[in-house]
Structure 1
Amino acid sequence: MSHANAALTPRHRLKVAKLVVDDGHPISEVAARFQCSWPTVKRWAERYRAGETMQDRSSRPHTSPNKTPLHVVKRVVSLRLRKRLGPVQLAALCGIAPSTAHQILKRCQLHRLSYTDRATGEPVRRYEHDRPGQLIHVDVTKFGNIPDGGGWRYVGKRQGDRHRAATPGKPRNRYHEPLMGHCFVHTVIDDHSRVAYAEIHDDEKAVTAVGVLQRATAWFDQRGITVERVISDNGAAYRSKLWQQTCRDVGITPKWTRPYRPQTNGKIERFHRTLTDGWAYARHYLSEQERRNTLGRWLHDYNHHRPHSACGGQPPITRLTNLPGQYS
């Protein structure tokens, strides 16, 4: 490989080769003159004799028998772009090793940043309870409602504004612009198994949050999970007396995260990112109702089919046993 201080740059390689081939100087004398080994002089002389270039050759092999097939590479890239999956999930779906999936993503400049805490930049400290139901995480995330015809993320700002204005039955602000409002997704996730439950509502009031908790605990109970504790942030709904009273009624101990420390509830925060990429903005929805109708199907895919790195590359439902339709 040539560099700034190389003994034989391409120009000097040509000079060495001409001294040996054209002028007939001995290889040993030319090597001593240019302070390099005689095999080096012989190599460049033979290349000059064969009419080859004096530039560096690529070190890439002519054939790579173990190279990942092109159709697998295309599938990895396609799944990455469409479903925003990580190397572990891509490896399980494509039948390759996670390291191979990561190398493909890196080569295509689609790889992730280092798995560090986004807030502090420090390595993530993980914890996991021993059995399902020992702790569940609850939270609320909200998304702007989609106007009829599609939102600005897919149709552009100008066309998105037209769709908003044409959506009927919406109140308007002081500037006569339609208010689309938000959909509030109340999410519940089991700490051990990562099995998730979610409902969509139009608010995040305490009454709504309590109803979600009651239905979620019943849903988990049907799958053999007895909820013992629940952890949430310090939102008004979760600090209300109604929330605490409901937890006592169903036999659950309420816990709260430390203020300004969302990392404590990191499992559900990470689930929200997966929910955002895999469902909320995964494709062009033509209406808000269309998006809401797909949540149940996406949750089933997440719980039953999507490989999870925390579950050893298996879907979350595999950490529960003897469930009807578990492997459907």
Structure 2
Amino acid sequence: MAAPLCHPQAEGVPRPPPGDLVQVDTLDLRDGRRVLKQFTAIDVASRCAVVTVASNATASLAVRLLDALDRLPFAVRAIQVDGGSEFMAAFEAACQARGILLFVLPPHSPKLNGRVERLNRTAREECYDLTLEDFTVSALSRAARRWEHTYNHIRPHQALGMLTPAQFLAQSHKEQLSRTS
């Protein structure tokens, strides 16, 4: 018998609703001379992703990621971050002002943020390894937005039974509506 194409949700364990937990991290983008930063967010339930590119990793630039999370088709209720300085002070205050719970992981625990760590690797392999000719924030931001659209609307995901995050959300929304009817 062949192995399944995806890792199914454990039987009897309900999948959390979209927005319950979004993992956030940064990724260094290097061209040999400069280092830019990608701010990465992924919803644990739906795998919907949001990426932004900035000149460096500061709390005020991390707050811009919170604004970009408005692109998600659901409200974010909690965010999980590593203990990076970019996720302190202004970022904490912005989360609190938006009513978003903030969970800070212990140092050196990337496995606890596994979905966003994997998304960073996928972004590097599928987006930046191919598009580093014009190494500017604006050029990489455009490339990241195109890739984000592909990731959310075109690229199937094994963890979602070979659906895209958009298809998964549409399907789960239909199922929720049918249960309440």
Is 1:266–2:114 an aligned residue pair? Answer: yes
In structure 2, how many angstroms separate the alpha carbons of the residues matched to 1:264 and 1:246?
23
Give aligned pairs, total: 160
Residues 263 and 128 from structure 1, CA distance in 2 versus in 1: closer, same or farther, beyond 3 angstroms? farther
Residues 247 and 128 from structure 1, CA distance in 2 versus in 1: closer, same or farther, beyond 3 angstroms? farther
Match for residue 134 of structure 1?
Answer: 20
TM score, norm. by length of structure 1: 0.45
Match for residue 244 of structure 1?
Answer: 92
Residues 266 and 190 from structure 1, CA distance in 2 versus in 1: closer, same or farther, beyond 3 angstroms? same
TM score, norm. by length of structure 2: 0.80
In structure 2, how many angstroms separate the alpha carbons of the residues matched to 1:214 and 1:296?
14
Amino acid at match of 1:316: P
| Structure 2 gap segments, 5+ residues each | 6-12, 172-181
Residues 199 and 128 from structure 1, CA distance in 2 versus in 1: closer, same or farther, beyond 3 angstroms? farther
114, 130, 142: which is aligned to 1:282?
A: 130
How far does the alpha carbon of each residue in 1:41-72 deviate from its partner, in whole angstroms, 9 at most, with x for none? xxxxxxxxxxxxxxxxxxxxxxxxxxxxxxxx
Is 1:219–2:67 an aligned residue pair? Answer: no
In structure 2, how many angstroms separate the alpha carbons of the residues matched to 1:130 and 1:257?
20
Instruction: Say whether the 8 Å CA contact 1:207–1:242 is kept in structure 2.
Output: yes
Is 1:186–2:72 an aligned residue pair? Answer: no
In structure 2, how many angstroms separate the alpha carbons of the residues matched to 1:286 and 1:250?
37
Amino acid at match of 1:219: R
Instruction: Say whether the 8 Å CA contact 1:128–1:192 is kept in structure 2.
Output: no
Higher relative contact order (CA 8 A, sep 6+): 2
Cα RMSD after superposing both structures = 2.3
- Within 5 A, what are the aligned runs for 1:72-87? none
Instruction: Say whether the 8 Å CA contact 1:129–1:191 is kept in structure 2.
Output: no
Is 1:254–2:102 an aligned residue pair? Answer: yes
How far does the alpha carbon of each residue in 1:62-94 deviate from its partner, in whole angstroms, 9 at most, with x for none? xxxxxxxxxxxxxxxxxxxxxxxxxxxxxxxxx
Residues 254 and 292 from structure 1, CA distance in 2 versus in 1: closer, same or farther, beyond 3 angstroms? closer
In structure 1, how many angstroms separate the alpha carbons of the residues matched to 2:134 and 2:14?
38
Residue 128 (structure 1) shift: 8.3
- Within 5 A, what are the aligned runs for 1:1-328? 129-145=15-31, 180-216=33-69, 218-220=70-72, 223=73, 225-238=74-87, 240-282=88-130, 285-289=132-136, 290-321=139-170
When structure 1 is superposed on structure 2, of 192-201 and 256-265 the one drifting more is: 256-265
In structure 2, how many angstroms separate the alpha carbons of the residues matched to 1:184 and 1:203?
5
Residue 291 (structure 1) shift: 4.7
Amino acid at match of 2:109: R
Larger Rg belongs to: 1
In structure 2, how many angstroms separate the alpha carbons of the residues matched to 1:135 and 1:306?
22
Instruction: Say whether the 8 Å CA contact 1:137–1:267 is kept in structure 2.
Output: yes
